[in-house]
A and B are shown apart, each in its own frame.
Chain A
Amino acid sequence: MAGYPLGVLALVAVFLLIYFGLAQRVLDRLYLNDKTALALIAASLLGSFINIPLSRGPIMVSVNVGGGLIPLGLALYVLYRAGTRKEALRALAAAVVTAGVIFGINSWLMRGREPWDFAWNVLDPLYYYPLVAGVVAYLVGRSRRAAFIAAILGVLALDIIDYLVLAFSGVRGTVAIGGAGAMDVSLLAGIVAVLLAELIGEGRERLQGGPEVEGRPRTLLEKLRLSPAKKALGLNKKDGEDRA
């Protein structure tokens, strides 16, 4: 890195620290502990430099370890750890819907527009991949984990669509799955989608004065210590006593 002006180094370093810091906080919430999350980020960073070629010729297909394999593995792990079969199915459905919606935005809604002319021109496409995944995941399951899976699998599925389009048209092209490594849209989308799901979820809970409690299983409610939940369980007077 020697030879770069100090300002450039500072700008890149501050950005990367915050980006990876956020990524670590996000992974931390997906059945991973602090240290595993940190190790995975380091692996993704190092894996950014490793590309595995899958095919050569007019369509160059390759998969990057840091931006393709590690996010894919993580998404599958979170899927595997899902509490119920329903949760897993919902997350998968969210991934399919995410891929479909992004493809729809790009090829139908945005037909005839420049890529950043979306949502009244506030968003570069880079940012609407996670936005879509976050919103879809919220609608499907209102869960951070579903958001993570939907974003990563959904964005990776776009590469498959790319490959098919290239294969059918016979045009020279590149399908570098997760090729931008830790900075790839796949991982970025996963991280931003989780933050977004959290922001929407927490924001809504604050607005309505606590999580929704009606009709939720008792086991779920017992984990909450907020007053609406306690009220629903009749725990208001003797706080915590019947748990002990």
Chain B
Amino acid sequence: MVKTVPKKLFLFAVLLSLALTYKLWVHQRPALVPAFSFKPGELKEHTIGDYSILVDEKDRVLDKMARAVYKDDEFIAEDNQRYRVTRIEGNKAICTPLGKENVSLEGALAPDLNSSMPAQAGGAKNLVAVYHTHSDESYVPTDGTESIPGHGGIFKVGEVFAAKLRSMGVNVDHDLSSHEPHDNNSYKRSRRTAVQLLSKGPAAIFDIHRDGVPDPDFYRQVVADTRVTKIRLVVGRENQNMNANLDFAKRIKAAADAKYPGLIRGIFIGAGSYNQDLSPRAILLEIGTHTNTREEAQRGAGLIAEVIPTVLGITPQPGPAAPSTSGDWKGVLFVVLAFVLGGGAFLIISSGGWDKALARIKQYTSIEWANLLGQRLRRPGNKRGDENEGKVLQYKRVPAEKLPNNEERKDWEKD
């Protein structure tokens, strides 16, 4: 005991000094979000002049966004060119093109299953869920400030999105919960809202935000003769639903590009999860930026809402449901592979070798399942019991050293 205390103190000290180093090191980099503040001026995420500029190797500006961009983030630009961030220099992210992405309503569908699947009458459940993780986000020209904690202008943008869907015969559950303060726990809080919404079984769930790039023209666009804001679709890449949600985003973009060219700014595939681990049909929308008027953003939200029912196959008239996408199946494969590889590695480490790991799996399948099933077999009236059932079995005393060596059982008993 006496020996272990200094060792632990030492470990604590190491961790603390690591934290200090990290703190000092990140201090050099441009800051974006103060973690804990209600003062509107300090709520910098998506608001203040600090933003990332995505450029190609020739320093041509490809995109700008108020979120921090990291190496390996990817984005699909307006022209469907896909890029990956390969280097970060200050607030500049240098991107390498990965080629043209196939963005079409049909392109992402799983080919083999699509043809064999019967059309489902009625389509998916006629419900769409909408919520706002950052419930303070507002638009300066209309709302007067970029942040109104608990009552952000973003709620009104969400309302237009919901109203448009309702006018098309779609049921919408628009949640107005506040997730203040706007800090690093916001997504933990909004996760609860998202789960409550998902428990009602919506066909898709949208988390509506706005960006914080200072230049309003960067998001401004004339579509169908009205001035609207462009919209960015954001997919989190740190979860098992990433492929499915990316396909969903691509289908939204394809439908919007066909109906309102220029409305979609692009698809950003960024670090983080944004609670998209909860559903393979979850998307984060950035509708305009804080320097756009809220009316522009509301009109943009109305336009994108128009294409959602087609993408989800939830038109009021009964029709075929939107089929699975290849991303859905990639997701399944990913989860299963992660489980097998992770579980296998863990088993080998904890049991101490390949053979013992195999033995443990064997005992798991034989003993544990046999225990569960065995009970059913022993029930009275069940004729499938063994031939000795009901008879008194002879008890044989066997000395321990004469019993066969049972390594498997020893391993099992250790647990």
Contacts and interface: CB of A to CB of B under 8 A. Distances in A.
Given A106-B36, A125-B188, A139-B8, A113 B178 contact: no
Interface in B189-213: 189, 191-196, 199, 201, 203
Contacts of B201: 1
B415 interface: yes
B203 A185 contact: no
Interface string A50-66: 01000000101000100
A124 B236 contact: yes
A49 B199 contact: yes
A111 B332 contact: no
Interface string A20-35: 0000000001000010
A15 B240 contact: yes
A217 to B, nearest CB: 10
A14 interface: yes
A240 B279 CA distance: 53
B349 A184 contact: no
A180 B191 contact: yes
Interface in A163-187: 165-166, 169, 171-174, 176, 178-181, 183-185
Interface string A118-139: 0001011111010000010001
Contact of A180 (B11, B122, B125, B195): B195
Given A113-B68, A121-B70, A3 B33 contact: no
Given A7-B244, A14-B335, A172 B3 contact: no
Contact of A3 (B23, B120, B151, B184): B120
Contacts of A112: 26, 31-35, 44
Contacts of A215: 1, 3
A116 B183 contact: no
A29 B238 contact: no
A222 interface: no
Contacts of B186: 115
Contacts of B229: none
Given A126-B273, A139-B12, A171-B180, A8 B196 contact: no
Nearest to B350: A202
Contacts of A29: 415
A69 to B, nearest CB: 14
B399 to A, nearest CB: 10
Contact of A174 (B36, B68, B178, B272): B178
A11 interface: yes
Contact of A206 (B32, B177, B352): B352
Contacts of A202: 349-350
Given A112-B31, A139-B11, A183 B195 contact: yes
Nearest to A183: B195
A203 interface: yes
B325 interface: yes
A14 to B, nearest CB: 5
B199 A48 contact: yes
Contact of A18 (B12, B117, B339, B352): B339
Given A51-B196, A109-B19, A112-B35, A124 B8 contact: no
A140 B12 CA distance: 10
Main secondary structure of the interface of B (DSSP, over half): loop
Interface in B334-377: 335-336, 339, 346, 349-350, 352, 368, 371-372
Interface residues on A, range: 35 or more
A11 B240 contact: yes
Nearest to B44: A112
B187 A125 contact: yes
Contacts of A165: 36, 181
B149 interface: yes
A240 B406 CA distance: 14
Contact of B124 (A4, A121, A162, A172): A4
Contacts of B349: 199, 202-203, 206
Contacts of B184: 105-107, 110, 113, 115, 125
A6 B114 CA distance: 10
B394 to A, nearest CB: 24
A174 B110 contact: no
A8 B280 contact: yes
A5 B321 contact: yes
B414 interface: yes
B183 A106 contact: yes
Nearest to B189: A174
Given A1-B201, A124-B238, A11 B328 contact: yes
Contacts of A14: 332, 335-336
Among A3, A107, A244, chain B packs the most CB atoms within 10 A around the CB of A3
A240 B401 CA distance: 10
B271 interface: yes
Interface in B96-133: 110, 113, 117, 120, 122-125
Interface in B49-71: 67-68, 70
A190 to B, nearest CB: 15
A199 B33 CA distance: 34
Given A111-B35, A112-B35, A113-B26, A173 B8 contact: no
A162 B346 contact: no
B137 interface: no
25 contacts: A3-B203, A5-B124, A5-B321, A5-B328, A7-B329, A10-B329, A11-B328, A11-B335, A51-B196, A64-B192, A106-B36, A107-B36, A112-B34, A114-B68, A115-B183, A129-B188, A158-B188, A169-B38, A171-B180, A173-B179, A176-B193, A181-B199, A195-B346, A199-B349, A215-B1
Q: Which 3 residue pairs spanning A and B have beta carbons closest together? A: A7-B328, A7-B324, A179-B192
Interface of B: 1, 3, 8, 11-12, 15, 19, 22-23, 26, 31-36, 38, 44-45, 67-68, 70, 110, 113, 117, 120, 122-125, 149-151, 177-181, 183-189, 191-196, 199, 201, 203, 236, 238-241, 244, 271-273, 275, 277-281, 321-325, 327-329, 331-332, 335-336, 339, 346, 349-350, 352, 368, 371-372, 400, 410, 414-415
